[in-house]
């Protein structure tokens, strides 16, 4: 499916079509930028939901010289939301009404989700996700409720302040174009969302996170999401270029594995997106679990020595920093 920027910016088209065009275009741009840093290319996997509506395209890079595993997935799905899901969503979206015979509503959802895990422990993992969701009346097809959600965050095993500052500054600059109150709000939301309660630490050094965003015109939010997509590569690529060829020890690699264990814990135990995906009929498990690293480790009662670089990371994860 060929898409052009004109489709994204055509205000006469439904928002759902424009967002779908945006994620398809950005998947190509992002994977091209990431693949340029490695010696292997992305594997492309087109998929559909058997017996359900829609599908997607999963692009995975692995076993290269820079990235151990990474994925950039888009999904465009539609179908019926069962009454239980309708009731949960009504807490934030009063316009949703289950008008189907069984109290269900029709839905459409599309989004891009990506996670990149480098080989070098000095290079950070990065995650980003932007999505659009709407419900429609099963009888008339009229849109009942719509919203955007998403975010981007950085997860280093070793702290390089310039990488953290660049990541946050570019996201702040992007949001400031639309509303000066958004970055502080979304930065705090990100720190809270990615808090691993049972470890009392955050998954990484944060970024931005938002959900259920429908309080501004859809056209304006779509433009904001496009701007956020545009900063993904400049927020991440410089860190990879600076860190991917640094020498590292076996102990540093083992620390990265322990940190990846925390990543797995969050994604499988706490992440709402993973839980929603695994509970959705016809969902594609391979694409949902694409975010997991190829390898991870759990060391019993592991505590780095006071004053080490590993200890420095843990102190930051216990008390999120204002980077900009």
Whether the CB-CB separation of 290 and 278 falls below 8 Å is answered with: no
pLDDT tens digits, residue range 83-130? Answer: 777 777 777 787 787 766 677 788 999 999 999 999 999 999 999 999
pTM: 0.93
CATH number for 76-318 (one of 3.30.420.40, 3.40.630.10, 3.40.1500.10, 3.40.50.1370): it is: 3.40.1500.10
Using the predicted structure, report yes or no on whether residue 149 has a pLDDT greater than 70.
yes
The answer to whether 56 and 71 are in contact (CB under 8 A) is: no
Catalytically active residues, by annotation: 127
Helix axes 15-35, 218-230, angle to 10 degrees: 0
As a residue count, the chain comes to: 324
The angle formed by the CA atoms of residues 186, 30 and 180, to the nearest 5 degrees, is 25
Give the confidence band of 314 by pLDDT, cuts at 50, 70, 90: very high
Q: Is the separation of the CB atoms in 252 and 35 below 8 Å?
A: no
> 108 and 16 in contact (C-beta within 8 Å)?
yes
Q: Can you read off the two tokens belonging to residue 275?
A: 């839980």
Distance CA(284)–CA(277), nearest Å, equals: 8
Beta strands in the chain (DSSP E): 43-48, 53-62, 67-81, 105-118, 125-136, 143-155, 195-196, 201-202, 206-213
- Beta-bridge partner residues of 116: 70, 126
Domain residue spans of the chain: 76-318
Q: What is the pLDDT of residues 217-263, one digit of tens each?
A: 999 999 999 999 999 999 999 999 999 999 999 999 999 999 999 99
């Amino acid at each position: 499916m060929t898409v052009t920027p004109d489709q994204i910016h055509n205000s006469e088209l439904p928002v759902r079509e424009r967002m779908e065009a945006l994620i398809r275009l950005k998947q190509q741009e992002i994977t091209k930028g990431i693949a340029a840093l490695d010696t292997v290319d992305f594997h492309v996997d087109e998929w559909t939901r058997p017996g359900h509506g829609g599908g997607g395209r999963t692009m995975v890079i692995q076993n290269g010289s820079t990235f151990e595993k990474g994925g950039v997935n888009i999904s465009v799905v539609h179908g019926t939301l069962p009454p239980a899901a309708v009731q949960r969503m009504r807490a934030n979206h009063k316009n949703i009404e289950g008008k189907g015979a069984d109290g269900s509503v029709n839905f459409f959802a599309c989004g891009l989700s990506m996670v990149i895990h480098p080989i070098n422990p000095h290079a950070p993992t990065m995650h980003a996700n932007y999505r659009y969701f709407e419900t429609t009346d099963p009888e008339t097809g009229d849109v009942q409720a719509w919203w955007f959600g998403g975010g981007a965050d950085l997860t280093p095993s070793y702290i390089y302040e310039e990488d953290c500052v660049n990541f946050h500054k570019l996201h702040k600059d992007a949001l400031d174009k639309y509303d000066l109150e958004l970055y502080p709000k979304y930065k705090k939301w990100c720190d809270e969302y990615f808090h691993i309660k049972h470890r009392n630490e955050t998954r990484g050094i944060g970024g931005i996170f938002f959900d259920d965003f429908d309080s501004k015109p859809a056209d304006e939010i779509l433009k904001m999401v496009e701007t956020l997509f545009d900063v993904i590569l400049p927020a991440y690529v410089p860190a990879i270029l600076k860190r991917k060829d640094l020498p590292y020890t076996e102990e540093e690699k083992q620390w990265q594995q322990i940190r990846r264990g925390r990543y797995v814990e969050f994604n499988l135990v706490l992440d709402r997106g993973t839980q929603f995906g695994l509970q959705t009929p016809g969902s594609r498990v391979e694409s949902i679990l694409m975010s997991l690293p190829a390898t991870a480790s759990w060391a019993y009662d592991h505590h780095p020595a006071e004053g080490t670089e590993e200890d420095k990371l843990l102190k930051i994860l216990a008390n999120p920093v204002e980077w900009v």
